[in-house]
Amino acid sequence: MERNVRIIGAPMDYGANRRGVDMGPSAIRYAGLADGLERAGVEPIDDGDLSMPRAEERDPDADQPSSGNAKFLREVQDVCTRVGDRVAATLADGEFPLVLGGDHSVAIGSLNGSSRGADLGVVWFDAHADLNTPETSPSGNVHGMPLAASLGRGAFGETDWAPAPDLRESSIAYVGLRSIDERERELIRDSDMTAFTMSDIDQRGISAVVEDALAVATDGTDGVHVSLDLDWLDPKEAPGVGTPVRGGVTYREAHAALEALSRRDEADGILRSMDVVEVNPILDEANETATLAAELTASTFGKRIL
């Protein structure tokens, strides 16, 4: 086993609009994550979960940004700061950080830690753009803001904990978008980010789209962060998510996409970090979504049919 994968549990649901996603890390582990990683040929090292108080014990409006609305901002900052430090320390030890969410706001920490001292590319598998800011968000839920925070947009630009150092828009590629707010649509069109929607996958196939996404994320970068939101998949495949959107990728398309990442990594060593987010066991059916998360993670690290 040539690679140590350090599992960092971040059972946070402060950024979500529905409780239960804090149980995601436990559900993914229970679904056989460690065994799958071992069969893929890597050594899993489980760091356990970061400790954090329950959302019910906190006031979501206790700390607000200078403008706009962001619920549980103080708690999100605390968790993401610790996630970022843990990711950076893992990389410094020569290991691969695998962050288990929790809601997608944990990616603020993942990106911050992974981009320290490195030019980072990003492949963002998601139904949503996650590009709202406190000023534009209709809900104030931070799980709809992680990329905006990491790019220092809006009120996040006034903080020192949210922006990912030197993260460039031109190094970010979305894969599988299909539910985008109008303001986010304008921001993407006016940005240097690359966005592949479900229509692109329908027309060109998942393999071609992922290949192009990797071309974006590897151009002039030191490594790629993969952010996998399980609502990227169709709800028939992944029912246990808080914000399901019909028309997502199929089971086989998802595996083909992550296997394509693995093949490129085996050839060029491109992968630097990863987070797997938005598994909500309360909404799941027989742990189906958590099992899929564990399987897709193993595919990322080289697990094959043959």
Quick one: DSSP state of residue 179? B
Binding residues: 104, 126, 128, 130, 229, 231
Q: Which residue has the tokens 């809900």?
A: 139
Query: Is 61 known to be catalytic?
Result: no
Spatial distance between the Cα atoms of 268 and 98, rounded to a whole number of angstroms: 19
Query: Is 126 known to be catalytic?
Result: yes
Query: Is 255 known to be catalytic?
Result: no
Please, what is the Cα angle at 97 between 40 and 71, to 5 degrees? 125
Query: Is 128 known to be catalytic?
Result: yes
Query: Is 278 known to be catalytic?
Result: yes
Binding residues for Mn(2+): 104, 126, 128, 130, 229, 231
Q: Provide the β-strand partners of residue 7.
A: 46, 98
Spatial distance between the Cα atoms of 166 and 183, rounded to a whole number of angstroms: 24
User: Count of alpha carbons within 13 Å of 304, Cβ hemisphere only?
Assistant: 9
Q: Catalytic one among 22, 126, 200, 253?
A: 126
Q: Catalytic one among 143, 184, 225, 265?
A: 143
Q: Catalytic one among 130, 237, 265, 284?
A: 130
Query: Is 63 known to be catalytic?
Result: no
C-alpha 305: how far from chain center: 25
Q: Catalytic one among 103, 278, 284, 295?
A: 278
Q: Catalytic one among 231, 234, 259, 295?
A: 231
Backbone angles phi, psi at 234, to 5 degrees: -65, 140
Kindly provide the residue ranges of all beta strands, DSSP E only, lying in the chain, ordered along the sequence.
4-10, 43-49, 96-101, 120-125, 172-177, 194-197, 223-229, 271-277
The 3-class secondary structure across 155-174, one letter per residue, is HHHHCCCCCCCCCCHHHEEE
Q: Catalytic one among 13, 22, 78, 128?
A: 128
Q: Catalytic one among 22, 229, 253, 265?
A: 229
Query: Is 47 known to be catalytic?
Result: no
Spatial distance between the Cα atoms of 143 and 280, rounded to a whole number of angstroms: 14
Query: Is 219 known to be catalytic?
Result: no
**Among positive and negative, which fits the CA dihedral 8, 213, 182, 279?**
negative
Quick one: DSSP state of residue 231? G
Q: Catalytic one among 75, 104, 259, 265?
A: 104
What one-letter code names the amino acid at 250?
Answer: T
Would you name the residues annotated as active-site residues?
104, 126, 128, 130, 143, 229, 231, 278
